[in-house]
């Protein structure tokens, strides 16, 4: 996206050129939902570069919308989490709210929902509490969940809730998405209990994910979203890793490889490169950049990837059979001969030499 490159550029002139290009190609009355989430960041970057904000009236209204949405989410969710803490539960906020807790300008990080993790044994009580507060699952999801809760939790990492009257979305997690190994999730979220959510307006005692676990989670989330991703994960990573050491990057890379999802790591690096983002330390820049599409996998339907590979193997076997058949019927074999002439000449040569 041209907009992403503009927002990542440290050079004012280059950012201005990219924004002008984006403005010419954009109909603000039909703005892509992915770009909508970047509007507060767009306004902030323009002010930093001291350049004119494109579509100033529309941008101002969208900024106001996101500010109100943040405050509204806070007003609805904060009492719920405070009640959980009073009941002895241990909620840990992840993804968007955890990122806000770590960056200098929290309101630049927009959120469409609130993501909270709870230990597995506290999930049932949390779901009852959400129902009591007016939240509901989507009808199809609720049917699958209530039919077999254990199976649903085994196959999924979270369940989404929506408060239809207050228009607030809430995701309750018992695991992390992004193909993070389960034993790693337990360790990471246990350690997160030492980091307090310090954002104004939120109850004391709420914990927030941070460090390598948070960055790994947002990178995995960006990968799983694929073409629907708003590229927000790129800006999250850019801000969260500004003061990282090489050891931090090595630990992050190691987590991908140990979980067997190295393709996700390389996809993230390639996507960063394609959008002009700052890459990790030079030890990783030595690799030849490849198109990010090369590292895509069909995560939700892995059997389709296997089917494509299976068909490819069958096609190659069939091609070999056709080529072998064509070779057998060439003029190397005279009519009525049992062996091709080349074989007979080869055998005769060794008989003569012996």
- Residue-wise pLDDT for 97-150, tens only, equals 999 999 999 999 999 899 999 999 999 999 999 999 999 999 999 999 999 999
Which pair of structure tokens corresponds to residue 209?
């994910």
Is residue 343 scored above 90 in pLDDT?
no
- 199-249 tens-digit pLDDT: 888 888 899 999 999 999 999 988 888 665 668 999 999 999 988 988 899
The confidence score (pLDDT) of residue 53 equals 92
Domain membership flag for residue 301: no
Cβ pair 208, 98 in contact under 8 A: yes
pLDDT at 354 over 80: no
Residue 339: pLDDT over 90? no
163 and 197 together in one domain:
yes
User: What is residue 57's predicted lDDT score, i.e. its pLDDT?
Assistant: 93
- 173 three-class SS: strand
Q: Please check whether residues 94 and 27 belong to one and the same domain.
A: yes
Give the domain CATH number at 252. Answer: 3.30.460.40
183 and 316 in a single domain? The answer is no
311 and 288 in one domain?
A: no
Provide the 10 A C-beta neighbour count for residue 43.
18
User: Residue 328: pLDDT band by 50, 70, 90 thresholds?
Assistant: low
Residue 334 lies in a domain: yes
Indicate whether 338 and 238 sit together in one domain: no
| Last residue of one domain, picked from the residues 295, 324, 340 | 295
The confidence score (pLDDT) of residue 209 equals 92
Q: Containing domain of residue 278, as a range?
A: 2-295
Say yes or no: 126 and 163 in one domain. Answer: yes
Q: Tell me the mean pLDDT in the region 194-198.
A: 84
Q: Tell me whether residue 184 is in a domain.
A: yes
For tokens 């193909």, the residue is 179
What is the total count of domains within the chain? 2
Can you give the pLDDT at residue 333?
45
Determine, yes or no, domain membership for 300: no
The pLDDT assigned to 308 comes to 58
Convert the pLDDT of each residue in 70-112 to its tens digit. 999 999 999 999 999 999 999 999 999 999 999 999 999 999 8
Assess whether 239 and 327 both reside in one domain: no
- In this prediction the pTM is 0.79
| For range 340-354, the mean pLDDT | 53
Instruction: Please indicate, yes or no, whether residues 99 and 171 belong to a single structural domain of this protein.
Output: yes
pLDDT of residue 321 exceeding 80, the answer is: no
| Shared domain check, 151 and 38 | yes
| Tokens matching residue 238 | 């850019």
Residue at 197 is within a domain: yes
Q: Do 156 and 254 fall within a single domain?
A: yes
Give me the pLDDT at residue 185, please. Answer: 85
Residue ranges in the chain assigned as alpha helix (H): 2-8, 12-24, 33-36, 39-49, 56-86, 96-100, 123-132, 139-147, 149-155, 182-191, 211-225, 232-240, 246-258, 262-274, 282-285, 302-328, 341-353
**Residues 310 and 187 reside in one and the same domain:** no
Domain boundary (251, 274, 295) is at: 295
Residues 236 and 173 in one domain: yes
């Amino acid at each position: 996206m041209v907009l992403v490159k503009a927002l990542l550029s440290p050079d004012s002139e280059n950012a201005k050129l990219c924004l002008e290009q984006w403005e010419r190609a954009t109909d603000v009355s039909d703005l892509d939902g992915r770009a909508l989430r970047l509007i507060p960041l767009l306004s902030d970057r323009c002010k930093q570069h001291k350049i004119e904000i494109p579509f100033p009236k529309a941008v101002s209204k969208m900024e106001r919308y996101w500010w109100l949405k943040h405050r509204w989410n806070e007003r609805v969710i904060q009492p719920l989490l405070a009640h959980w803490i009073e009941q002895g539960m241990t909620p840990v906020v992840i993804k968007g709210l955890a990122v806000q807790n770590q960056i200098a300008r929290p309101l630049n990080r927009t959120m469409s929902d609130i993501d909270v993790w709870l230990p597995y044994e506290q999930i049932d009580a949390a779901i009852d509490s959400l129902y009591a507060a007016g939240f509901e699952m989507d009808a199809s999801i609720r049917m699958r969940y209530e039919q077999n809760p254990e199976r649903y939790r085994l196959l999924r990492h979270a369940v989404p809730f929506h408060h239809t009257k207050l228009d607030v979305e809430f995701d309750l997690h018992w695991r992390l998405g992004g193909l993070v190994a389960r034993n790693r999730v337990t360790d990471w979220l246990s350690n997160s209990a030492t980091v307090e959510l310090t954002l104004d307006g939120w109850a004391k005692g709420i914990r927030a994910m941070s460090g390598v676990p948070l960055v790994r989670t947002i990178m995995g989330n960006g990968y799983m979203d694929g073409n629907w991703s708003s590229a927000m994960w790129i800006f999250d990573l850019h801000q969260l890793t500004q003061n990282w050491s090489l050891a931090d990057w090595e630990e992050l890379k190691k987590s991908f490889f140990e979980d067997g999802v190295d393709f996700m790591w390389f996809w993230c690096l390639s996507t960063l490169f394609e959008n002009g983002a700052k890459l990790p330390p030079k030890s990783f820049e030595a690799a030849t950049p490849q198109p990010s599409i090369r590292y895509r996998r069909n995560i939700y339907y892995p059997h389709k990837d296997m089917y494509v590979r299976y068909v490819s193997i069958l096609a190659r076997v069939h091609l070999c059979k056709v080529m072998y058949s064509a070779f057998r019927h060439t003029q190397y074999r005279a009519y009525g001969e049992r062996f091709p002439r080349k074989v007979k000449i080869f055998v005769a040569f060794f008989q003569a030499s012996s």
